Amino acid sequence: MKVYHSIAEWRAFRGSVPEFAGRRVGFVPTMGALHAGHRALLERAAAENDHVVLSIFVNPTQFDNPTDLALYPRTLETDLQLAGGLVHSVLAPAPEELYPDKYRYRVTEQEFSRELEGAHRPGHFDGVLTVVLKLLNLVQPHRAYFGEKDWQQLRLVHDMAAALFLPTEIVPCATVRDADGLALSSRNRRLSPGGRAHAAIFPRLLAASTTAEQAAAALATEGFGVDYVADRDGVRLGAVRLENVRLIDNVRL
């Protein structure tokens, strides 16, 4: 497993014929702080491809809150240990490597990206779609793997790939949950032990409530700050705040 911090070095490597000729490339884009959910994505990528590429990049353009960006965990050495045995190449550039244009050029989706997460985090999906497009262009994978916990993101990335005629197959992967049902997330580690135990109520109430409105009311009663709960295409999505940590999840209805 080799780590590339330079885009120029990565492109020289990706263009090498002996390494990639006739080989299927699987890609898992992440912002680091890897956990068992990321490991599951990497395991699937390794099972379905010949060469697995992992990206680790805390993308500044998708953060609407500077404090959230500053607090996001950066754990490269631990991440590389977790990826061991599954990943062949790691792309871990600095922001100036991925944004030499200083974000002058960006991808904007005009409809779905303005709902749900987009309504509460202005510009968030511009940053997500822009960095994903850049990474897909750099890695040129046959398949790219995304977790279903970020359901809206997954839908937007899938539709962008189709709209822009990208050759990469966008592969959805089931949400990995802790024993108490809470979806694994890098943000969970910012919760206190008591907050972490309380957070498990979030997915339970999403699933148990009869309507989205009932779920939102029940979450508020339990002390969560509720950004939204909404039903879309047979999926109930929610975003809440607990101890100044923002959590998102979704359950199938």
Catalytic sites, residue numbers: 38
Residues 159-182: b if buried by 16+ CB within 10 A, e if exposed: bbbeeeebebebbebebbbbeeeb
The tokens for 63 are 């953060």
Contact yes or no for 13/89 (Cβ under 8 A): yes
**Crossing angle, helix 7-14 and helix 124-139, to 10 degrees?**
40
Report how far Cα 50 is from the mean position of its chain's Cα atoms: 23
Interstrand relation of 89-91 and 2-4 (parallel, antiparallel or unpaired): parallel
List Cα–Cα distances, 198 to 206, 209, 217, in angstroms.
14, 17, 16
Q: Alpha helices, DSSP H only, in 84-149?
A: 95-98, 117-120, 124-139
Question: Residue 200, CB half-sphere, CA atoms under 13 Å: how many?
Answer: 10
